[in-house]
């Protein structure tokens, strides 16, 4: 079977998709990973890479990209048109070419690429989710920073979020369908259409972290995390780890941080009497602080005392599987949802919203980390037994 696996975001979105592609290749399928060229190294043995020329890191590092991420939830939606639309035609054309000969497409819900490609090429598709986005009465849409709206409100808010998203992006989507793919317009939300047709959904989250909602339909599958083993840590990181007690890892992915954030992080670590490995912030190296670039989280996290992060779905899952406590500092999107889940599981203290991140608040949470070590370690042991990739590919083959 020829399977195209779409990975349309940053590294956190690409690694789980690469893990699926690798398992498909191991089982003898012709797997193609459709991802940004900068992530070519993530395409494992037997996996063909179809490189996309749109570089998500370059987009986010631009002035427009930083303003986009710094605009909060409403600014993020509005900025999609400003930042993404100028690149969208090229991206859609490249994805279309990469998937033209596939027997099956695995595509994230974002952009409804699976539906467009089915209409264009007659190829079936499955939907990939990195957070539980199927409507349920048990919790609100993870994109909303709310703990609950009650069962009726929880369920209703999924449709509201989708309709607002389609209101903002529908015109752009239909223009691209016509100009790039030669397709007619969609008359309503593609997400609602997917549910009516019961298109299978694979959600790469563990039921140990988010118990499967009782009101989910049978075509929605909670498989467990899709983990891709990384390379060992660089020598300078190994040396720093060996030079003292386990440090704290601090990294906020691609989130825009004010200049003071680096200063507050280092001061908070020192207030708590802890060493730190800091990723993506302009800090000076010292005996107690090591700045790093790209590093395999799955290899590093089991060797640290705690992980301070933004609450991205991938980083959260990796930290939980490592069995170490998390201090989640959410910015927006689904990050508050993951911060609440970490606290509810006893794997970390209450979230510290990024807008309130200061040295005293950070030190207070870091000093509370020992209270969560036992629960975090126990959850990590159970998560490491799971094989979400195998479960997902079993479902794909069936």
Quick check: pTM over 0.85?
Answer: yes
Evaluate whether residue 218 is within a structural domain.
no
- Judgement on whether residues 172 and 26 belong to the same structural domain of the protein: yes
How much is the pLDDT for 245? Answer: 98
**CA 390, CA 395: separation in Å to the nearest integer?**
9
How much is the pLDDT for 12? Answer: 84
Please report the sign of the dihedral spanned by the C-alpha atoms of residue 298, residue 339, residue 84, residue 174.
positive
CB 185 within 8 A of CB 115: no
Evaluate whether residue 228 is within a structural domain.
no
- Judgement on whether residues 187 and 281 belong to the same structural domain of the protein: no
pLDDT tops 80 at residue 70: no
- Judgement on whether residues 29 and 105 belong to the same structural domain of the protein: yes
Domain that holds residue 161: 2-197
- Judgement on whether residues 189 and 267 belong to the same structural domain of the protein: no
- Judgement on whether residues 159 and 41 belong to the same structural domain of the protein: yes
Number of domains comprising the chain: 2
**CA 305, CA 11: separation in Å to the nearest integer?**
24
Q: Which residues pair with 326 in a beta bridge?
A: 307
Choose the weakest-confidence range: 21-35, 71-85, 277-291, 318-332.
71-85
- Judgement on whether residues 188 and 118 belong to the same structural domain of the protein: yes
Evaluate whether residue 215 is within a structural domain.
no
- Judgement on whether residues 52 and 99 belong to the same structural domain of the protein: yes
Q: Which residues pair with 51 in a beta bridge?
A: 35
With H, G, I as helix, E, B as strand and everything else as coil, classify residue 169.
Answer: helix
**CA 333, CA 143: separation in Å to the nearest integer?**
5
**188: Cα within 13 Å, side-chain hemisphere:** 7
Query: Residues 73-77: what's their mean pLDDT?
Result: 58
Query: Residues 196-207: what's their mean pLDDT?
Result: 98
Evaluate whether residue 249 is within a structural domain.
yes
Residue with tokens 């939980």: 320
- Judgement on whether residues 253 and 362 belong to the same structural domain of the protein: yes
Query: Residues 129-146: what's their mean pLDDT?
Result: 95
How much is the pLDDT for 267? Answer: 98
The domain that holds 335 is classified in CATH as 3.40.50.2000
- Judgement on whether residues 253 and 370 belong to the same structural domain of the protein: yes
């Amino acid at each position: 079977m020829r399977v195209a696996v779409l990975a349309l975001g940053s590294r956190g979105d690409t690694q789980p998709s690469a893990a699926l592609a690798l398992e498909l290749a191991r089982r003898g399928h012709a797997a193609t990973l459709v991802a940004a060229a900068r992530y070519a190294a993530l395409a494992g043995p037997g996996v063909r890479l179809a490189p996309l020329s749109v570089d998500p890191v370059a987009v986010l590092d631009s002035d427009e990209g930083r303003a986009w991420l710094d605009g909060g939830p409403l600014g993020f939606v509005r900025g999609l048109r400003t930042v993404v639309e100028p690149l969208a035609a090229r991206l859609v054309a490249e994805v279309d070419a990469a998937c033209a000969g596939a027997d099956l497409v695995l595509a994230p819900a974002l952009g409804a690429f699976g539906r467009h490609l089915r209409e264009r090429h007659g190829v079936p598709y499955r939907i990939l989710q990195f957070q539980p986005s199927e409507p349920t009465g048990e919790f609100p849409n993870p994109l909303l920073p709310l703990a609950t709206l009650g069962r009726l409100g929880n369920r209703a808010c999924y449709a509201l979020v989708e309709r607002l998203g389609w209101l903002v992006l529908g015109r752009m989507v239909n223009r691209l369908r016509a100009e790039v793919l030669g397709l007619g317009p969609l008359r309503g939300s593609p997400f609602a259409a997917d549910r009516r047709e019961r298109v299978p959904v694979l959600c790469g989250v563990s039921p140990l972290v988010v118990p499967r909602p009782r009101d989910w339909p049978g075509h929605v599958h909670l498989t467990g995390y899709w983990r891709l083993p990384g390379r060992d840590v660089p020598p300078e990181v190994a040396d720093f780890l060996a030079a003292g007690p386990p440090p704290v890892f601090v990294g906020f992915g691609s989130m825009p941080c004010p200049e003071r954030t680096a200063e507050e992080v280092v001061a908070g670590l020192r207030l708590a009497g802890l060493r730190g490995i800091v990723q993506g912030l302009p800090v000076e190296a010292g005996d107690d602080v090591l700045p790093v670039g790209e590093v395999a989280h799955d290899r590093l996290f089991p060797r640290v005392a705690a992980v301070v992060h933004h609450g991205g779905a991938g980083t959260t899952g990796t930290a939980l599987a490592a069995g170490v406590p998390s201090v989640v500092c959410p910015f927006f999107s689904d990050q508050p949802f993951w911060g609440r889940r970490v606290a509810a599981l006893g794997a970390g203290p209450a979230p510290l919203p990024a807008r309130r991140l200061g040295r005293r608040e950070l030190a207070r949470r870091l000093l509370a980390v020992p209270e969560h070590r036992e629960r975090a370690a126990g959850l990590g042991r159970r998560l490491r037994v799971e094989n979400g990739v195998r479960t997902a590919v079993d479902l794909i083959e069936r």
